[in-house]
Amino acid sequence: MPLFDAYSMVDWSASSRPSREKNPDNSIWIAWAERASSWTETSNPRTRNEAHREVETRLRAAHERNLRVLVGFDFAYSYQR
């Protein structure tokens, strides 16, 4: 039995302004995959609020389906100098 049914990785390396730049340093990227299917979905929300809503919506839906989800976030814990 696998430990997790779904996986989500979030690169939260975005500026404070809305952006959809292909440069990962200025954009938020979210990946979602489920073991039961062979697809991986990615998205590039424009703002941090949109990203927060998307992650929350996906996790609530996974909870309703009783899925175990591993979520990883890549974001800074401090401000750059």
- pLDDT tens, position by position, 2-25: 899 999 999 886 566 665 556 555
Pair 50, 56: CB distance under 8 Å: no
Report d(CA 66, CA 49) in Å as an integer. 25
Do 47 and 32 form a contact (C-beta atoms < 8 A)?
Answer: no
25-69 per-position pLDDT tens digit: 568 899 999 998 877 899 999 888 899 999 999 999 999 999 999
Average pLDDT score, the chain: 84
Distance CA 29, CA 48 (A): 10
Q: Is the pLDDT of residue 72 over 60?
A: yes
